[in-house]
Amino acid sequence: MKVNGINFETVWMEEHQLKMIHQNKLPWEFAIHTCQNHQESCEAIREMVVRGAGAIGAAAGYAMAQAFMLAPTHKRDEFLSNAKITIESTRPTARNLFYAVEKVFEAGKKSVEAAIIEAQKIANKDKDDSRNIGLFGSNLFKEKTRVLTHCNAGWLAFVDYGTALSPVYTARDQEKEVFVYAGETRPRAQGARLTAWELHNENIPHLIIPDTAAASLMAQGLVDLIIVGADRIAMNGDVANKIGTLDRAILAQYYNIPFYVAAPGSTIDPFCKNGKEIVIEHRSTEEVLYQQGPDELGNQHKIRVVSYGTEAWNPAFDVTPAKLITGIITEKGIIKANQRSVEAFLNN
């Protein structure tokens, strides 16, 4: 995607350095963050400097390649095994992360160059898959479509194009009239901060809505289609995605609105039978208890928005049962969210 007329990917490598768009600074500042080694890359993934299923996967693959590039000769195998464990521990729910680390680690057993090539292949495929998801998903759009999204599954969440927003961009390019409702997505507000920033950057008409306004919006008949992303898909079609996705799916069924998940095949976990087996990441309660933003001079401030003495519960994801999902938009086409379709997809 272009920012100020310049093409950017979300994450990329320059020699041994991992570069990424600093998403924690958006929408107030567009900045590039540099990681000198896999430890710094892990910290960036953990602190959500880079976030989103595909972008996490690409970053993790690059981080594993960094470990091979910078591994010492003394106790090299031990160093690399520990690096793999460290990278995989950063975000436990995101399947793309494990997919990328596994593939780069196996390639690195042949040579450092093989690890670097494999990491780049994963990033390139993520970009190609996202583009194809846009092509298939745009067929769901009529001449005029009002779509509701949740969290951010745009190009910031992948190497480029994105998943849930890729069909939006493609439909726009096909000269269809698209309007997007971006759910704010508490507690980190990825919808309000990132999705809205993307849509504004692309000149796509949109509104941010409070998370609690989704039901009212649907009740008034203002939503034609719902598309969300995914962080892990189980073999039976259950989907883990940003917390609040389950709410949207339940409401969509009640109001008879098509509810689609957009995700590449790398998000499918062939070792996970159903949603009950998905490990849900729980993040710091400070994300709920505090909010952060700049003043008019650009100085960042962190303020508590909850009374002292009160604690919080902060799961980062929830699981949407397959029966609530109309279909999964993949790089190969739209499939049903069930065991047979998911297995056929992986075997095709």
Q: Using N-to-C axis directions, what is the helix angle for 166-173 and 112-137, rounded to 10°?
A: 60
DSSP reduced 3-state for 101? helix
> Does residue 210 have a cis bond before it (omega within 30 degrees)?
no
Q: Which tokens is 74 given?
A: 């003394």
231 flagged as catalytic: yes
User: Is 41's pLDDT higher than 90?
Assistant: yes
Tell me the mean pLDDT in the region 216-227: 98
Neighbours of 75 (CB within 10 A): 11
| Percent of the residues in the chain that have a pLDDT greater than 70, as a whole number | 100
Residue 168: C-alpha distances to residues 134, 138, 210, 214, 331 (Å): 7, 7, 21, 19, 15
Q: Supply the mean pLDDT for the chain.
A: 97
pLDDT band for position 292 (cuts 50, 70, 90): confident
Q: What is the pLDDT of residues 115-131, one digit of tens each?
A: 999 999 999 999 999 99
User: Is 300's pLDDT higher than 90?
Assistant: no
Strand partners, 96: none
Query: Of 231, 238, 269, 318, which is the active-site residue?
Result: 231
Residue 295: C-alpha distances to residues 194, 291, 292, 300, 301 (Å): 19, 13, 10, 7, 7
Kindly write down the DSSP assignment for every residue of 300-337, as one continuous string: EEEEE-S-TT-----BSEEEE-GGG-SEEEETTEEE-S
Per-residue confidence (pLDDT) for residue 254, from 0 to 100: 98
Q: What is the pLDDT of residues 129-153, one digit of tens each?
A: 999 999 999 999 999 999 999 999 9
Tell me the mean pLDDT in the region 22-51: 97
pLDDT band for position 295 (cuts 50, 70, 90): confident
User: Is 296's pLDDT higher than 90?
Assistant: no
The CA-based angle 11-13-15, given to 5 degrees, is 165
For strand 225-228 and strand 259-262, is the pairing parallel, antiparallel, or unpaired? parallel
Cα gap 222→218, rounded to integer Å? 6
Per-residue confidence (pLDDT) for residue 297, from 0 to 100: 79
Residue 131: C-alpha distances to residues 69, 143, 250, 301 (Å): 30, 20, 28, 38
Instruction: Go through the domains of the chain in sequence order and give each one's CATH number.
Output: 2-129 (1.20.120.420), 132-281+315-347 (3.40.50.10470)
User: Is 298's pLDDT higher than 90?
Assistant: no
Tell me the mean pLDDT in the region 300-322: 96
Q: What is the pLDDT of residues 233-284, one digit of tens each?
A: 999 999 999 999 999 999 999 999 999 999 999 999 999 999 999 999 999 9
